[in-house]
Structure formats: structure tokens, C-alpha cells
Amino acid sequence: MGKKVTRESLLPSVLEDDGPETEHEGVELGGIGSRPPSRPSKAYSRGSVDNQTVTLSDGSSLGRPGGELGGGEEEEEEEVMGEGRRSTLSGRQTSGVTSGTVDEDYDTDLDLKEPEQPYDPTGEARYREACELLGVIPASYFLRNMHHSELNMTHHGLGPQGTKALAVPLVTNLSIMRLNLRDNWMEATGGSAMAELLKENCYITEIDLSENRLGEKGAEALSSMLLENTTLVSLSLSANDLNDKAANHLSLAITTNQRLERMDLSHNKLGDAAGEALGHAIAENTGMKSLSLAWNCIRGRGAIAVAKGLGANIFLRKLDLSYNGLGKAGAVALGEALRENNTLEELDISNNRIPPEGAIRFSIGLKVNKTIRILKMARNPMQSAGCFGILTSIQSNPASVMEYLDFSDITVNLDFDALYSTTKETFPSLQVKHGGIVNVYKTSI
């Protein structure tokens, strides 16, 4: 248990929002009893100080307000003090006063000690006080599980104020390492509170803030946090109304932060400008292993920029670009990237309007790639010809490590089926999923 929560003790930066819900916006994350009380720095011995005057054994005196050492009025006061006080000081002179000076660090049996209170590693007391100050009801589920290493609070309806109250104890909580706050309607205000706590907390390694309507302001606050945080390895910002301006903030964080390994930006509103900004960040990043940009609006030049970033990246293992609009140009650019990239193991470009020609030109990269194990191209209008081209390139690459091809909802013909049977002889572990075989040679009677 720490200090009592007061409005003056809390970080103002958490509360910089303009919404009407911020009536109690005095809650700072870092100032509520984060450390046990400290002991007084020094104290003087019994009988050795009287109105800041110290008498030495030889009768001289030291100090008083506005006075100088020894002489004058000090000597007159010594006559009043009496022999008893002189003898007391004389007995302690050797340890506390030497050569006419006072040891300011001198410690005696009269040291004042404040009663020590047990430190609360979970922050329960701080949470209750923050809830009272912000006018929200404490979440009983949080109180019951705040000592666990993993906390799942999806769909709890915390809102901006409830999120700020939750952030207060999480600043110093020593237990929680994985935190899921999906769908709590925290908005930019709550996102800023999460950013502030993650700047201070060094135990949380995974956090899911998906479906919280964070918007550009929330993304900006979290991007600023990523410039300082060195412990977070997984961050999910899916479905948060993030646009191209938000991507500009995030690209700087991705470029700078080399500790974050997994990031989910799916189901947002990222367009071509975002693709260009993130493509540059992907090229510069040297720590991220998994990135999802699925269900966005990345097309044309944005898709080409992301592909170029992939070609220059040497750490990314998994990239999800499904449900965008890569088209032929994006597929061609990705094929070129796979000729250069030698680290990517899983690529998902399902439902990207890739035509047969785009798929065939994409497959050129598969003729030399030695790392791709899983390739998903489901629900693209590439037809059996595109699937045939992909499989042909894999068959012609003896160094290929392909294990799984996903052509879901794409029908193939007998030629593809025959090629697959032949390819299985060389790559017995290869699995292919497709939308069924159509016998184009069959005629109706």
C-alpha cells in the first residue's frame, strides 16, 4: 500500500483530452504511492540542540539563527543551561562533535521513524483509490486476477475513465506480463493512459488494444511510447480506425524500436500513403518478426512500397497482406522482393485481386526463394493457370522449402492435378488446398 491518491499526485499528461467525460482528470499514473515511505535523513541527539544552539564541552557554543559560532549571547545562554546539559554533550562529544564542527550525519537513538507500511505489488489499494477519484466502479474481475501473469479483460466496457483507473495500478504491478484489453471502448483518452503506463512498466511484454477506437491521437501516444519502451514484444492495434496520418506516427516507432517482435495493424483504414510510410519502416526495422496489414486499403504504389520494404528486410518471418488490393502490380513487386529476401517464411496475399498474369509473374520469385514455407493466395481471380504457374516454379526450385499452398475457393483443372502428383514425388511434404478440380475436357451427352 502506498501513498493516498490525490489529484495533485497524478500525471497530467494522461488526462489531456477534450471530451466531456474528463470531469475527474486529476489522475496521474506514476505518483500514487509507487514506493514505500523513506526514513528522515538526519536527527540530533537528546540534549544537544536547543533552538539550534550546540554547547561544546569546553563551554563554547555553536550556531543559532542568524548568529556566528561561539561568544556573545551564546555564552550567556550556557550559564542558564546548567551543568547537566554540559555533561550530556561532553559525553557524546567524541562521536558527534570534533574540531569545532558538527557532524550533520550524526545519528542517535532519537531518530524519528515513520511506521513502515507493507508494499502492495499488485496495486489493489491504488486501483480502488483511483476508481473513487474518477467516479468509476472497480472491476471485480481485475481485483480477483491482478496477481496473475496473464489478464484477459476483453469486452468489459471500461470506457476512457475506467481505462485510466486501470492504468494506475498497472504502472507498478509486478505480476501481469500479458494483457488483453480488446473491445473496451477506451478511445484516445484511454489509449494515452495505456501509453503512459507502458512507459513506466517493465513487466508487460504483450498487450492487445484491438477494437478500442483509438484513432490518430491514440496511435500517436502509443507511437511515442514505443520510442521509450524496451520490454514490449507484442502489440495489437487491430480495428482502431487508424488512417494514413496514424501510420506516419507508427512508421517512426517501427523504424526506431528494435525490440517489438509482433505488430497487428489489421482491420484499419490504411491506404497507399500508409503503405509508403510503412514500407520504408519495414526496410529499416531490424527486430520485428511478424506484421499484419490485413483488411486495409493498400493498393498500387502503397503495395509496391511494402514489397520493396520486404525485399530489404532481413528479420521479418511472417507478413499478412490479405484483403487489400495488391492487384497485378503489387503481385509483381512481391515476386521481385522474394528474389532478394531470404528470411520470410510465411506470406498471406489472399483476396487481393491478383489476376492469372500477376500470379505467374509473382511465381518468378519462387524459383529462387529458399525460405518460404507457407504461401496463401486464396480467393484471388488467378484461375487454374495462376495456380499452375506457382506450382511449376516450386517444382523447378530444388532448394524450395514450401510446405503448404492455400488456393482456397479457386478451382483447378486436371493439368494442375497431374502436376501436383508429379511435384509430390520431389516434395513429399507439400500440401495444397484448392477449391476443387474441374474436368474441362468432359462433354455433356
* Residues 79-106: tens digit of each pLDDT: 444 444 444 444 444 444 444 444 545 4
C-alpha atoms less than 13 angstroms from C-alpha of 392 in its C-beta half-sphere: 14
Which residues are CB-contacts of 390 (< 8 A; sequence separation ≥ 6)? 359, 362, 363, 366, 375, 377, 405
DSSP H or E segment with residue 102: strand 101-102
Mean pLDDT confidence for 263-289? 97
3-state secondary structure of 263: strand
Task: Note whether 308 and 277 are within 8 A (CB).
Answer: no
**Does residue 401 form part of some domain?**
yes
Residues of the chain with pLDDT > 90, as a percent, come to: 70
Q: Is residue 391 part of a domain?
A: yes
- Residue 122 and residue 173 in contact, taking contact as beta carbons nearer than 8 Å: yes
Residue 145 has a CB neighbour count (10 Å cut-off) of 16
Closest CA to 291 of 256, 334, 322, 326: 322
Residue 53 DSSP symbol: B
Report which DSSP code applies to 104: T
Query: How far is 189 from 225, CA to CA, in rounded Å?
Result: 14
Is the pLDDT score of 72 beyond 90?
no
- Structural domain contains residue 404: yes
Q: At 356, is the pLDDT very low, low, confident or very high (cuts 50, 70, 90)?
A: very high
pLDDT of residue 123: 87
- Whether residue 376 is predicted with pLDDT greater than 80 in this model: the reply is yes
Burial of residue 186 (CB within 10 Å: 0-12, 13-18, 19+) is buried
96 within a domain of the structure (yes/no): no
Q: Radius of gyration over alpha carbons of the chain, in Å?
A: 34
Q: What is the pLDDT of residue 440?
A: 62
Predicted confidence (pLDDT) at residue 18 exceeds the cutoff of 60: no
Grid coordinates representing 265 are 495493424
User: Do 43 and 111 touch, CB atoms closer than 8 A?
Assistant: yes
The grid coordinates listed for 328 are 497485378
Distance (Å) of CA 445 to CA 13, 413, 439: 78, 20, 15
Is 311 within a domain?
Answer: yes
CB 218 within 8 A of CB 212: yes
Q: Residues of the chain with pLDDT > 70: what percent?
A: 72
Lowest mean pLDDT among 15-29, 381-395, 396-410, 419-433: 15-29
C-alpha cell at 72: 556573545
Mean pLDDT for 295-308 is: 96
Residues 6 or more apart in contact with residue 213 via CB below 8 angstroms: 185, 186, 187, 240, 241
| pLDDT exceeds 80 at position 175 | yes
User: Does residue 351 contact residue 378 with C-beta atoms inside 8 Å?
Assistant: yes
CATH number assigned to the domain comprising residue 193: 3.80.10.10
CA-to-CA separations, 332 to 329, 349, 390, in angstroms, rounded = 5, 12, 13
Label residue 207 by pLDDT band (50, 70, 90).
very high
At 28 the pLDDT is 56
Q: Among 32-41, 212-221, 275-284, 302-311, which is the least confidently predicted range? A: 32-41
- 7 in any annotated domain: no
The confidence score (pLDDT) of residue 3 equals 44
Q: What is the mean pLDDT of residues 110-122?
A: 62
pLDDT attached to residue 337: 97
Residue type, 228: E
Question: Distance between CA 196 and CA 225 in Å, rounded?
Answer: 7
- At residue 56, the pLDDT reads 45
Q: How confident is the model at residue 73 (pLDDT cuts 50, 70, 90)?
A: very low
Instruction: For residue 370, give the C-alpha cell.
Output: 529458399
pTM: 0.75
- Give the range of the structural domain holding residue 142, as residue numbers without chain letter: 124-438
In a domain, 46, yes or no: no
Q: Is the pLDDT of residue 259 over 80?
A: yes
Of the listed ranges 77-81, 124-128, 190-194, the least confidently predicted one is 77-81
- Per the structure, the count of domains in the chain is 1
Residue indicated by cell numbers 491506404: 271
Q: Rounded to an integer, what distance in angstroms lies between the CA atom of residue 1 and that of residue 24?
A: 22
Question: In the 8-state DSSP scheme, what is residue 36?
Answer: P
What angle do the packed helices 300-312 and 272-284 form, to 10 degrees? 0
Residues facing residue 13 across a β-bridge: none
Cell of 423: 511435384
Q: Three cell numbers at 246?
A: 496514424
Q: Does 359 or 39 have the greater pLDDT score?
A: 359
445 pLDDT above the threshold of 60: no
pLDDT at 252: 95
Regarding predicted confidence, which is higher, 66 or 286? 286
pLDDT of residue 108: 46
On whether residue 23 sits in a domain, the answer given is no
Return the pLDDT at 208: 98
Alpha helices by DSSP H, listed for 241-399, are: 244-256, 272-284, 300-312, 327-340, 356-362, 383-395
Mean pLDDT of the chain: 82
